[in-house]
Amino acid sequence: MYPRIIINKEKFRHNLRYLLDTCHDKGLSMMAVSKVFCADLELMNIIIEENVDYISDSRIENLIGIASVIPKVLLRLPSIGDAKRIVIHADISLNSEISVIKELNKYAQELDRIHGVILMIDLGDLREGIYDENEVIDTVRKMLSMSNIKLKGIGTNLTCYGGIIPSTEILQKLVDYKELIEKEFEIKLEIISGGNSSNIEILLEDKIPSGINNIRIGEAIVLGRETAYGNYLDNTYNDVFTLEAEIIEIKEKPSYPIGDIGMDAFGKVPKIVDKGNMLRAILAIGKQDVYHEELIPYDVVNLIGSSSDHIIVDVGDAHNIYEIGDTMKFKLTYASILSLMTSKYVTKYYE
Ligand SMILES: Cc1ncc(COP(=O)(O)O)c(C=O)c1O
């Protein structure tokens, strides 16, 4: 059944093991982030078999499906209305709002559980986290008075909105916060979580300041790539996931539409260059599953456009001679893995 996403489980396991060993060698624990592949159960089994330190996902719906004794961490700040099911299905959540933490405490009391919290601090990337130092101290004080909340630690997230690259100096600010909190409240924080796959470069260079003892890794597992500079990592695979889509039309046609040009299927006015006649194939997959700009063809073909259910491909220079019913394969990016794994129209095939 096409389209299908081919998932190489051993390559996935290899990347995961390599990153886990690297973190452990450098004295850090690792949260394996499963949201890019929607916590696919076959891959979750590998994550569980490899005994990662923490399972983590941004969607509570994904954590609900995972049965394991490994601690489960909710990465996206909880929605206040979801507090109850977060307490039920996650051991720890990342938080920055005291009103939400209060609600988590309320349900943790009701369910007779202790819910762990990693307090997020914004070091300048300007997505989630408390930015103001007084607010950090005030929030910690309030949390410590809550009966069923355990302040597990602090964390930060970089290279997501603002594109800020984690440096030793920036991460030292998180360590300074750890020391401030530990001194002020005479406590020990268990987890100091320095960030995501953008931390790998300074991890490999041994430039992560001592005090940071955890990172949360998603993209590097699936694509063998760090995300501060986009460099591929030695000893990892970048082709764990491959898309295979089927050809449903092949015809020679003009490259330039005939008639007055208005809007395309997505309300945009197309800008098309006239290249004369062209051998064009149509693939049975479209924007509902993936944006064609995020697909990297193995053959010498050019993806020239797409609508909801179709991708149009210039196959004039292709190495293969294609016929109806043949398939075309593509290497994937983070965005394309995310959307293809989310689409219910794409079959999963494991090799
Ligand atoms: C808070 C948080 N931490 C870590 C990650 C993992 O990021 P990456 O896939 O770049 O490793 C994400 C995104 O999935 C996230 O939202």
pLDDT along the chain (351 residues), means of 10: 97 98 98 98 98 98 95 98 98 98 98 98 97 98 98 97 96 98 98 98 98 98 97 97 98 96 90 95 98 98 97 98 98 98 98 96
170, 196, 223: which is the final residue of a domain?
223
Q: Provide the whole-model pTM.
A: 0.96
The answer to whether residue 236 is domain-embedded is no
Could you tell me the distance, in angstroms and rounded to a whole number, from the CA of residue 33 to the centre of ligand 1? Answer: 7
The answer to whether residue 271 is domain-embedded is yes
The answer to whether residue 229 is domain-embedded is no
Judge if the beta carbon of residue 33 lies within 6 A of ligand 1: yes
Backbone angles phi, psi at 111, to 5 degrees: -95, 0
Q: Do 158 and 264 belong together in one domain?
A: no
Judge if the beta carbon of residue 118 lies within 6 A of ligand 1: no
Judge if the beta carbon of residue 227 lies within 6 A of ligand 1: yes
Backbone angles phi, psi at 62, to 5 degrees: -70, -40
DSSP 217: E
Judge if the beta carbon of residue 115 lies within 6 A of ligand 1: no
Residue 303 burial (CB count, 10 A): 19
Q: Do 182 and 258 belong together in one domain?
A: no
Question: Given the structure tokens 């040009």, which residue do they identify?
Answer: 261
Closest approach atom of ligand 1 to CA 155: 1
Tokens of 182: 């530990």
Q: Do 110 and 258 belong together in one domain?
A: no
CA angle 130/172/136 to nearest 5° reads: 20
Judge if the beta carbon of residue 157 lies within 6 A of ligand 1: yes
Cβ burial, residue 323 (10 Å; 0-12/13-18/19+)? exposed
- Is 34 in contact with 320 (CB distance < 8 Å)? no
The Cα–Cα gap between 253 and 256 comes to 9
DSSP 340: H
The Cα–Cα gap between 248 and 252 comes to 14
Whole-number pLDDT of residue 343: 98
Tokens of 38: 């929607």
Whole-number pLDDT of residue 265: 87
Mutation probe of ligand 1 site: the residue of 33, 200, 334 with most atoms within 8 A of C-beta: 33
Judge if the beta carbon of residue 35 lies within 6 A of ligand 1: yes
Domain that holds residue 205: 9-223
Query: Which residues, including other chains, have CB under 8 Å from residue 7's CB and lie 6 or more apart?
Result: 37, 40, 42, 43, 240, 241, 348, 349, 350, 351
Residue nearest to atom 2 of ligand 1 (CA): 75
Judge if the beta carbon of residue 58 lies within 6 A of ligand 1: yes
Is residue 35 annotated as part of the catalytic site, yes or no? yes
The answer to whether the bond into 3 is cis (omega within 30° of 0) is yes
Tokens of 6: 């081919």
Judge if the beta carbon of residue 90 lies within 6 A of ligand 1: no
Q: Do 247 and 184 belong together in one domain?
A: no
Report the CATH number at residue 246: 2.40.30
194, 223, 252: which is the final residue of a domain?
223
Could you tell me the distance, in angstroms and rounded to a whole number, from the CA of residue 348 to the centre of ligand 1? Answer: 23
Could you tell me the distance, in angstroms and rounded to a whole number, from the CA of residue 322 to the centre of ligand 1? Answer: 39
The Cα–Cα gap between 157 and 198 comes to 9
The answer to whether residue 233 is domain-embedded is no
Catalytic residue among 9, 26, 35, 348: 35
The answer to whether residue 249 is domain-embedded is yes
The answer to whether residue 3 is domain-embedded is no
Whole-number pLDDT of residue 172: 98
The Cα–Cα gap between 269 and 275 comes to 19
Closest approach atom of ligand 1 to CA 31: 4
Residue 24 burial (CB count, 10 A): 12
Q: Do 308 and 213 belong together in one domain?
A: no
The β-bridge partners of 192 are: 154
- Is 147 in contact with 155 (CB distance < 8 Å)? no
Tokens of 270: 């197309």
Q: Helix, strand, or coil here: 121? A: strand
The answer to whether residue 319 is domain-embedded is yes
Closest approach atom of ligand 1 to CA 58: 16
Residue nearest to atom 8 of ligand 1 (CA): 218
The answer to whether residue 132 is domain-embedded is yes
Judge if the beta carbon of residue 128 lies within 6 A of ligand 1: no
Residue nearest to atom 5 of ligand 1 (CA): 196
The Cα–Cα gap between 268 and 262 comes to 8
